[in-house]
A and B are shown apart, each in its own frame.
Chain A
Amino acid sequence: MFRFIMARLGGTVAVLILVAVMVFALTRLASGDPIAVLLGDQASAEDIAQVRVQYGLDKPLLTQFGYWVKEVLQGNLGQSIFLQRPVTQALAERTEPTFFLALFAVTIAALIGIPCGLIAAVWRGRFVDQVFSAVAMLGASIPSFWMGLILIQVFAVGLGWFPASGYGNPGVSLAERLHHLVLPATVLGVLNSALIIRFTRASVLDILNEDYVRTARSKGLSERVVILKHVLKNALVPIVTVVGLTLALMIGGAVVTETVFNLPGVGNLVVRAVLRRDYPVIQGALLVIAGIYVLINLVIDLIYMLVDPRIRV
C-alpha cells in the first residue's frame, strides 16, 4: 500500500515537472517578441534591449527556466507584461467568476446527466435509452460558442430574461452574480452532461450484472429499492469521479464560454494574454490550471486506493 502511494506520488511529481517544462518551452518557442509588442512601433532597439534585460529575457534559456521554477516554487508566477501587476494577483482576481461558473455548470450537468444515465441503463435498449444516447451525442456535437450565441439571442436579446454578458458591476449581490451566470452555466452544463450521461449509464450497467443485485431482487425487494439503494449507491463512486473531473476541466476549459458571455474569468484572461503574447500570464495560468488537474487526479486515485482494495493489486 505504502509503496503504491509512493509510486503514484513519484509519477505525479514527474508529470508536474514535465508540465512545467512544456509550459516554459511553449511560451519560449513563440515567434513574436512580447517586448516589441509592448513598447510599440516607436521603441528603439536600445529600449527593447533594456526592457529585455529588465524581464530577464536576455539570459540563456536554461538559466531562465531555473530562475522561473525557483520563483514558482516560492509562489511567484512573475509579473504580467500588460496588466502591470503580479500574475498571481491577476489570476486571483479572475478566480471567482470561473469558480462559480464551474460549480453552477457542474450542478446542472449532474442534475441532467445522472438521472438520464440511470434511466437509460435501467431501460437499456428501449426507446428512452436510444433517445438519451442520441441526446448525449448531440450535446457533444454542438459548439459551445454557437449554443451561447443562440441562448443570448433568445433569452437575452429576445425575451430579456437574463443579461447577455458580463458579471455585473463590482459589489452587486450574489443573487445578481448568479443571474449573470444562468446562461453561461446552462451552456456548459448541458453540453458537459453528455459525458456524465454516458458514464452513468456504463457504470450502472456494470453494477446491474452483479450477483448482489440478483440477490436483492430474489429477496423480493421492489425494483425501486434495488435500483436506488443497491445499484445507484454502488455506481456512485465512478460517477462522482467523472463529475469531479468535469469540474476540474471546467476551471480551465471554460475559455470559449467565458469569451462568448464576456465573463471576467480565468479563461478570458488567458485568451487576452494569448492575443497580446503576455507570456508570464500564459505561463502562470497554464501551470496553475494543469497543476490543479494533476492534483485532483491524484486525490481521486488515492481515494480509490483507500476505498477499493482491488486497485492496489
Chain B
Amino acid sequence: MERLIYVMKRLFARRIVLIAALTLLLIVALAIFFPFISGVDPNEISVLQRLKAPSAEHWAGTDELGRDLTMRIVWGGRYSIMIGIVTALFSVIAGTALGLLAGFFRRLDGPIMRVIDAMMSFPDILLGISLVSILGASLWNVVLALTIVYTPRVARVVRASTLVIRELLFVDAARALGVSTPRILYAHILPNLLSPVLVQFTFIFAYAILAEAGLSFLGVGVPPEVPTWGTMIASSLQYADMAFWTIVFPGIAIILTALSLQIVGDGVRDMLDPKLRKSA
C-alpha cells in the first residue's frame, strides 16, 4: 500500500498526468453509472426533436431519430470503453505469453518472431477489416480482430524486455538455487515485465477505441445497433451537412479518451525510464 502511494505520488507529480487520469476516471465513471442515475432512456425516439442543434435542453443536440446526443455519447461510451479495455487485456495476455516464450527460450525465438514480423507487415486497419469481414461483424469479433492486430506489438516489447531480464544476476542466482524454469518465468521474470506491459495496455486501450471507430466508419465494425462512438458517427454520416454536431461531439469523446490514455501511458513510461524523463 505504501509503495502504491509512493508510485502514485511520482506518477502524478506532473500535473498533466493527474488531469488526464482524472478525466479518464470521470469518463469511465460516467459510462458505468450515469445510465443508472439519470433515469433517462438514451434510446428514446422523438420525431419532433430530430436533428436539433445544441441547446440548453440538449447540450450536444439531437440525432436523426431525435435522441439526445449527450445521453447517447455517455451510453455509447460504455461500449467503446468496453471494447478498448477487453481488447487491451486480451492483447496484453496473449502478447506477454508469446513475448515471454520468444525472449526466454532461444529455440522458440526465431519461429515466434518471424510470425510476429509477418503479422506486423500488414497495416493495422487493413488487417482489422480483413479479419472482421472473415469473422463476421459482431461486437466480439471486432474485439477478437483487434486483439489479433495488437498482440504482436505487445509480444515485441515483452520479448525485448525479457531478453534483458534473462541476463540479470537474480535469474542466474535463482537457477543456481535450483528454481524450476516455470517458476523462474512466473516469479522472477513476469513481475519485472509489469511496467512495460502496463504502458502497452494504456496505448492499446486508446488505439482500440480509435480502430473500432475507424472500422465502424468503413462499415465493417460492430453492428450499427450497438451504440459505440464509432457507430454513432457512422450512422449520422448522411446528415453531416445539416447536423454537423452529430459527428463533432462523439468525435470529441473519442479524442478526449484516447488523449487521456496516452498521457497516462506516457507518464507511466516516463516514471519507469529515467532516460526519457522530461526534466532530464
Interface string of A135-158 (1 = CB under 8 A from B): 001101111111001100100010
Instruction: Say yes or no: A153 contacts B131, CB within 8 Å.
Output: no
Contact of B121 among A15, A27, A256 (CB under 8 A): A15
Name the residue on B nearest A206 (C-beta).
B275
Instruction: Say yes or no: A18 contacts B134, CB within 8 Å.
Output: no
> How far apart sit A19 and B126, CA to CA, in the bound complex (Å)?
14
Stretch at the interface among A65-73, A174-182, A211-219, A247-255: A247-255
Interface size band for A:
35 or more
- CB of B154 closer than 8 Å to a CB of A: no
Stretch at the interface among A107-115, A271-279, A304-312: A271-279
Contact of A138 among B122, B213, B255 (CB under 8 A): B255
Name the residue on B nearest A19 (C-beta).
B118
Name the residue on A nearest B219 (C-beta).
A275
Instruction: Say yes or no: B126 contacts A255, CB within 8 Å.
Output: yes
Stretch at the interface among A84-92, A124-132, A235-243: A124-132
- CB of A14 closer than 8 Å to a CB of B: yes
B residues within 8 A CB of A30?
Answer: 133-134
Instruction: Say yes or no: B125 contacts A146, CB within 8 Å.
Output: no
Instruction: Say yes or no: B130 contacts A256, CB within 8 Å.
Output: no
Name the residue on A nearest B128 (C-beta).
A255
Q: How many residues of B contact A (CB 8 A)?
A: 46
- CB of B3 closer than 8 Å to a CB of A: no
Instruction: Say yes or no: B217 contacts A145, CB within 8 Å.
Output: yes
Instruction: Say yes or no: B134 contacts A22, CB within 8 Å.
Output: no
Instruction: Say yes or no: A143 contacts B121, CB within 8 Å.
Output: no
Stretch at the interface among B50-58, B180-188, B240-248: B240-248
Name the residue on B nearest A144 (C-beta).
B214
Contact of A137 among B123, B217, B263 (CB under 8 A): B263
Instruction: Say yes or no: A256 contacts B125, CB within 8 Å.
Output: yes
Residues of B25-84 contacting chain A, CB below 8 A: none
- CB of A134 closer than 8 Å to a CB of B: yes
Can you name 8 A-B pairs with beta carbons within 8 Å?
A18-B115, A130-B278, A141-B258, A143-B210, A146-B251, A252-B126, A259-B217, A271-B219
Q: Which A positions have Cβ atoms within 8 angstroms of B?
A: 11, 14-15, 18-19, 22, 26-27, 29-31, 124-125, 129-130, 133-134, 137-138, 140-146, 149-150, 153, 157, 202, 249, 252-253, 255-256, 259-260, 267, 270-271, 274-275, 277, 282, 286, 289-291, 293-294, 297
- The 10 A-B pairs with the shortest beta carbon distances in the complex, nearest first, are A253-B123, A18-B118, A141-B258, A146-B251, A141-B259, A290-B121, A30-B134, A274-B133, A252-B123, A293-B121
